[in-house]
Amino acid sequence: MPVATRPTPAPAPADIRSDPACSDPAGASRLDVAAELLALLRDTTTEPRPDTQLEALTLAVAADLPVLLWGEPGIGKTAALTQLAAALDLPLTTVIASVHEPSDFSGLPVVGDDPAEQGVPMAPPDWAVRLVRAGRGLLFLDELSTAPPAVQAALLRLVLERRIGALQLPPGVRIVAAANPRSSAADGWELSPPLANRFVHLKWIHDHEVVVRGLGGTWPRATLPRLDPGKLSEAVHFARRAVCGLLAARPTLVHRLPSTETGRGGPWPSPRSWEAALCLTAFATAAGSSREVLSMLVRGTVGDGPGMELLASLDRMDLPDPEELLADPAGAALPERGDLRQAVLDGVVAAVRNRPERSRWDAAWALLVRAMETGAPDLVVVPATTLAALRREDWDVPASIERLAPVVSLSRRADQVAARVAGAGQAGR
C-alpha cells in the first residue's frame, strides 16, 4: 500500500520589503543619482554662431509668417523649435496635427441655453485658450505631412487667419510647422495646395560641425534679427520695386500652380506668396541679411525658379546707370562679379543702340577698355562685337579699339577651333 506523501509547498514569494535596495534608505536615492546624471547630460549652452538655416527661420518668425520646416526624421527640427522658443522667451505649444480631428481646429460645437436665439458656438481647444491667455507664444504644428486631407482643410483658417472656432489668436503668437517628406513620413500625405501656399518652406538639413559641437554641449544661439530703424522705409521701397518690377516684366509669374502633386505641396508663386516674398525681402534688407539667407526665404516662398528670378532682379537693381557710365567712363566703378559686370556692359551697349551718337559710341569703347583692364578680358568680347556693328560710316575708329583687338581675335580663334572640333565629332559618328 503506497504511503501518502504531503506535497512540498512552493516557496513563498520574497517580500519586496526584504530587498536591501528598498529597505536601505540609500537605495531609494539611486534614481536621484540617475536624475542628476540626466540633468548633467541635458545641461547645454549656446553661442553666437553663423547658421543660415537658423537665421532664415528667425527672420520669417520676426516677419510673422507661418514657417514649415522640411527634413528627414531625427534631423533636429523639434529640437531647433524648442531651442528657438527658449531663446526668444516664448511659451512653446506643440500640437501633433495627425492625431487630431478636423473639429479640434475648427472648434467643437457647444449647445447653449437657447440655440434658436444664440446659435451653437464653436468652442476652441484648451491649448488655444492657453495661448490667448498668455498673449504670446510659439505654436508648433508637428508631423504636418501625416495629417489627412480633412485635417489639412481645417488648418487653413488657423494658419492664415489665426482663428480656431470663435477664438482669435493674439498677434504675439507665431506659427511654425514641421513635416517629413512623404517618402519618409509615417503614412504620409502630400500637402494640399491651399495649405502649402500659406507657408514659407525651409529645407532643414544637418550641419556636421553644428551637430558635433552641439553634442559637446554648445549649440548655435537663436536670436531675432536686428532691424535698422533708419532703413525701414528704404527697405519697403526696395522690396516693392523689386517684386513689382519683376512681375510687371513677367506677368506669367504672378500665379503658376505646379502640374505635379508634389510640386503643389511645396512653394509656388501666387499673389499670396509674392506678398510674403515682398515682406521677407524688406525684412532681410532692413536686417542686412546675407544673399544666402534671402535666397532660402524667397525660394521657399515662391519656388526655386521664380525665386532665382527675383534674386537676379535684385542684383540688377543695384547696377550702375548706363548713362552715368557713358558720361564718365574713366571714373566708372564696375561690379566685381562677372555676371553683373556682363549685364552692365550689355546695358551700356543697349543704351548706345537706343541713342546712337559718336560721343556715346567712343565712350562705350573707353568703358570696354576699362572693363578689360580691371576684370576678366573675355567679358568684353560680346559687347565689343555688338558695339562694332553699331558704327556709322562717318565715325572714325577710336584708338582704344586696338587695345581690345587681341582679346576679340583670340576669342574668335577659340570659337573657330571649338566649331571644328564639334564638326569633327559629328562626322565621326
Q: Are 58 and 188 members of one domain?
A: yes
Domain with residue 178: its CATH number is 3.40.50.300
Tell whether 250 and 333 lie within a shared domain. no
- Under 8 Å between Cβ of 293 and 321: no
Residue 293 shares a structural domain with residue 340:
no
Report yes or no: 311 and 280 within 8 Å, Cβ to Cβ: no
Are 266 and 250 in the same domain?
A: yes
Q: Any residues with CB less than 8 A from the CB of 406 and at least 6 apart, and which?
A: none
**Residue where a domain terminates, one of 188, 220, 252:** 220
Q: Pick the last residue of a domain from 164, 190, 220.
A: 220
Q: Which residues contact 141 (CB under 8 A, 6 or more apart)?
A: 95, 97, 155, 175, 176, 177, 178
Would you say residue 8 lies in a domain? no
- Domain assignment present for residue 92? The answer is yes
Residue 114 lies in a domain: no
CA 275 – CA 278 distance, rounded (Å): 5
Extract the residue ranges of the chain whose pLDDT is less than 70.
1-28, 112-119, 182-188, 405-429
User: What residue numbers bound the domain in which 418 lies?
Assistant: 322-427
Kindly state whether residues 384 and 286 are assigned to the same domain: no
Query: In the prediction, which pLDDT does 39 show?
Result: 93
What tens digit of pLDDT does each residue of 8-37 get?
555 555 454 445 545 555 555 888 899 999
State pLDDT tens for residues 378-402.
Answer: 888 888 888 888 888 888 877 777 7
Same domain flag for 213 and 130: yes
Helix (H/G/I), strand (E/B), else coil: 259: coil
Per the DSSP assignment, residues forming a β-bridge with 218 are 45
> Is residue 38 domain-resident?
no
Q: Which of 169, 189, 220 is the last residue of a domain?
A: 220
- Look at the chain and report how many structural domains it folds into: 3
- Within this chain, do residues 126 and 271 fall inside the same structural domain, yes or no? no
Asked if 81 and 182 sit in the same domain, the reply is yes
Cα distance between residue 147 and residue 155, in whole Å: 10
Q: Note whether 213 and 337 are same-domain residues.
A: no
Q: Are residues 380 and 283 in the same domain?
A: no
72 and 197 assigned to the same domain: yes
Q: How far apart are CA 161 and CA 100, in angstroms?
A: 19
